[in-house]
């Protein structure tokens, strides 16, 4: 007998979309499956109300691997014939080669690869701006994200494993310039991966605290924020 399952939903931060509390990521997931299993997994997720998919093109910086996983995902949703309102997408914007490769070009390529203009999705519900090494003009990142929001490429955004100082600068820039702030933070691989989730920079600045607290406000001004022991 099939079990009745209802996946809870939750708003993805202030101003973000309402999404299932679980999602499926795509870094070398879909290209590790045979076609039948890909189709079955995607359909099963949608049937359970968990049709929230993290989809990205991995071919930049340390991930310059010409991955096909996003292509396979796009083929699968078209083969299944999913209506666009049956699933939600979280895309990626990479900082590894930014600003040489800007966000507009990254969005164009990402959407084209999953089928935009060919019965595939024309936008993402949200995106994650990836982590970085070295100096990045965070204020300009926020402005460039806003340009893509205005273009309709996505409706909200978050960050992946940013140092607290960079995240605070993004929040301050959005506030000062009346731009859209990041509404959520994504930790690499989950709370149990200590080297990412409990590293000195991220915890002391509190990327983790952002996952526990809402609304997303100034880090140390948020009453939910607690300094690590």
Set out the domains of the chain in order of their start, with CATH numbers.
9-212 (3.20.20.100)
pLDDT at 4: 65
CA 83 to chain centre: 21
Please answer whether residues 23 and 54 qualify as being in contact, where contact means their C-beta atoms are separated by less than 8 angstroms.
yes
pLDDT by 10s per residue, the chain, length 229: 455 678 999 999 888 999 999 888 767 889 889 999 999 999 999 999 999 999 999 888 887 888 899 999 999 999 999 999 999 999 999 999 999 999 999 999 999 999 998 889 999 999 999 999 899 999 999 999 999 999 999 999 999 989 889 999 999 999 999 999 999 988 765 554 445 444 444 333 333 334 333 333 334 333 333 333 3
CA distance 31 to 209: 34
pLDDT at 22: 86
pLDDT at 2: 57
Beta sheet of 157-160, edge-to-edge order: 52-54, 88-93, 126-129, 157-160, 184-186
CA 157 to chain centre: 7
CA 143 to chain centre: 18
């Amino acid at each position: 007998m099939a079990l009745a399952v209802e996946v809870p939903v939750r708003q993805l931060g202030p101003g973000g979309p309402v999404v299932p509390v679980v999602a499926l990521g795509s870094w070398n997931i879909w290209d590790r499956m045979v076609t039948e299993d890909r189709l079955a997994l995607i359909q099963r997720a949608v049937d359970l109300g968990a049709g929230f998919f993290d989809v990205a093109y991995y071919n930049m910086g340390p991930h310059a691997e010409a991955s096909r996983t996003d292509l396979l995902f796009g083929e699968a949703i078209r083969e299944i014939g999913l209506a666009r309102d049956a699933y939600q997408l979280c895309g990626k914007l990479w900082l590894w080669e930014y600003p040489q490769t800007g966000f507009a070009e990254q969005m164009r390529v990402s959407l084209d690869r999953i089928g935009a203009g060919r019965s595939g999705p024309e936008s993402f519900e949200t995106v994650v701006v990836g982590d970085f090494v070295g100096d990045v003009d965070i204020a300009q990142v926020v402005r460039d994200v806003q340009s893509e929001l205005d273009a309709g490429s996505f409706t909200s955004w978050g960050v992946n494993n940013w140092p607290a100082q960079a995240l605070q600068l993004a929040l301050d820039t959005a506030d000062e310039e009346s731009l859209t702030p990041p509404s959520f933070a994504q930790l690499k691989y989950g709370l149990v991966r200590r080297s990412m989730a409990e590293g000195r920079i991220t915890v002391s600045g509190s990327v983790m605290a952002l996952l526990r607290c809402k609304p997303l406000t100034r880090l140390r001004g948020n009453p939910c924020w607690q300094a690590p022991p």
